[in-house]
Amino acid sequence: MYSSRIESLPPYLFAEIDKEKQKVEQQGVDVIDFGVGDPDLPTPEHIVDELCNAARDKSTHSYPSYRGLESLREAITQWYDERFGVELDPESEVLSLIGSKEGIAHMPLAFVDSGDKTLVPDPAYPVYKIGTILSDGEPVQMPLREENSFKPNLDEVDEEDAEEAQIMYLNYPNNPTSAVASRDFYRDVVDFAKKYDIIVCQDNAYSELSFGDFEPPSFLEVDGAREVGVEFHSLSKTYNMTGWRLGFVVGNKEVITGLGEVKTNVDSGVFEAVQRAGIEALTSSQECVERNVEIYEERSNLLMEGIESVGLEPKKPRATFYIWAKVPSGYDSMEFTKELLEEAGVVTTPGVGMGEYGGGYVRFALTRNKERIKEAVERMEEL
């Protein structure tokens, strides 16, 4: 009945985690969920108010623009200039998305033919691999190892794989490892992409969730980046708008055009009221983002201390709202995740579920308040 593409897909990790969580909840367990990266903080009121106002405007009830409202694309270019010092053409270098996941998944449909390869980090957000498979392409792993600060070693990429690759996916600040990348790393990526004629797709969804004085750079800040690639952004994590489904991609004109061709044939754009709310988010005061970051940093410090006390080895994050931790000796990531859920009612993401090289690690999402974090640590200490 199903296509070979569907048959070849692995189970979607977070759907599987949700199934296991429901089983435990049905047994009456009060589950504390650090699994999926879905903010527990509400969308700021001024953004919600703008959505309500826009939704009452009958002009927003028609089919929206495929590329996104001109005013949204202009707001994106203004935000990019102010945040990264990158000037963009709103007409040709910006495209709105129904969340960045949608655009990332559709990229291979525009640029990958049957048998073509993509270079995919491992461990990673599953959609990079899944989008490739659904396009009848072949994902090739780029291991993210601790000894290389969880960045791919470009010198290790097989020459034949590089020659046959159409796309390289990157994601910094990184999910799941919370690793960050420098401009020097991006310069190496640009050189690599030019050498092998590869499109770079940098997923920068966590750029605004950074701690201390660290400000994650944009890939497009580096000379030559716009010649070889694009950068994806999402309003989901920055403004607690995961359910709203609004994101965007910016950068290389030809790549933007190709992805736009796919989208005009498979979707009809983002509800205009949501786009207008997105404009409000991007152009109004960013104090709400600063408050979010303060909350996540407090949670990070608290959870770091707690999980160290139970034998895990966490990596202190400089960005994202994740903690990536090595499991105690004698466990693998699946065993440890299962024990935490069944014995303590605590949900984490097994590293191996996000790729072969995630084995031996688990990911905690900082999406529960401090009281629940303290309770989760107490439960883990009793194991």
Mean pLDDT of 218-231: 98
Q: Is residue 8's pLDDT more than 90? A: no
The tokens for 133 are 């498979």
Same domain (yes/no): 214, 337: no
pLDDT at 372: 97
Three-state SS letters, 33-97: ECCCCCCCCCCCHHHHHHHHHHHHCHHHHCCCCCCCCHHHHHHHHHHHHHHHCCCCCCCCCEEEE
- Judgement on whether residues 8 and 81 belong to the same structural domain of the protein: no
Q: How far apart are CA 247 and CA 258, in angstroms?
A: 17
pLDDT for res 126:
93
Which of 240, 260, 283 is a domain's end point? Answer: 283
Task: Look at residue 14 and tell me whether its pLDDT is greater than 90.
Answer: no
Q: Are the C-beta atoms of 136 and 115 separated by less than 8 Å?
A: yes
pTM listed for this prediction: 0.95
* 150 plus 105 within the same structural domain: yes
Residues 300 and 240 in one domain: no
* Residue 116, H or E segment: none
Mean pLDDT rounded to a whole number for the chain: 95
Considering its fold, how many domains does the chain have in total? 2
Q: Is the pLDDT of residue 238 over 90?
A: yes
Name the domain boundary from 255, 283, 311: 283
- State pLDDT tens for residues 249-307: 999 999 999 999 999 999 999 999 999 999 999 999 999 999 999 999 999 999 999 99
Residue 36 has what pLDDT?
A: 85
Question: What is the tens place of the pLDDT at every residue in 66-121?
Answer: 999 999 999 999 999 999 999 999 999 999 999 999 999 999 999 999 999 999 99
- The 8-class DSSP code of residue 176 comes to T
Across 173-182, average pLDDT? 98
- Provide the pLDDT for residue 20: 81
End-to-end CA distance of the chain: 45
What CATH number has the domain bearing residue 155? Answer: 3.40.640.10
The predicted pLDDT at position 18 comes to 78
Asked if 272 contacts 60 with a C-beta cutoff of 8 angstroms, the reply is yes
Q: What is the pLDDT of residue 30?
A: 93
Model pLDDT for residues 346-363, shown as the tens digit of each residue = 999 999 999 999 999 999
Residues 92 and 217 in one domain: yes
Per-position DSSP letters for 243-289, written without gaps between them: GG--EEEEE-HHHHHHHHHHHHHH-----HHHHHHHHHHHHS--HHH
Percent of the chain whose predicted confidence (pLDDT) is above 90: 87
**Is the pLDDT reported for residue 232 higher than 80?**
yes
Classify 1 as helix, strand or coil: coil
Residues 269 and 294 in one domain: no
How far apart CA 99 and CA 249 sit, in angstroms, is: 10
Instruction: Give pLDDT, residue 22.
Output: 87
pLDDT at 383 over 90: no
319 DSSP 8-state letter: B
Considering the domain architecture, whether residues 119 and 155 belong to the same structural domain is answered as yes
Question: Per-residue pLDDT tens for 109-152?
Answer: 999 999 999 999 999 999 999 999 999 999 999 999 999 999 99
Q: Are residues 145 and 245 in the same domain?
A: yes
Task: Indicate if the pLDDT at residue 234 is higher than 80.
Answer: yes
Q: Are residues 10 and 149 in the same domain?
A: no
**pLDDT value at 6 more than 90:** no
* Listed residues 263, 283, 303: the one ending a domain: 283
Full domain range(s) for residue 134: 45-283
SS3 226: helix
Alpha carbons 69 and 65: distance in angstroms, whole number: 6
Count CB atoms within 10 A of the CB of residue 298: 14
31 lies in the same domain as 166: no
pLDDT-based confidence at residue 47 (cuts at 50, 70, 90): very high
- 279 and 344 housed in the same domain: no
No. of helices (H) and no. of strands (E), the chain: 14, 13
Residues 334, 268, single domain; the answer is no
Q: For residue 15, name the pLDDT band (cuts at 50, 70, 90).
A: confident
Q: Are 132 and 112 in contact (CB under 8 A)?
A: yes
Question: Rounded distance, CA 362 to CA 330, Å?
Answer: 14
Cβ atoms 193, 229 nearer than 8 A: yes
How far apart are alpha carbons 303 and 295 in whole angstroms? 12
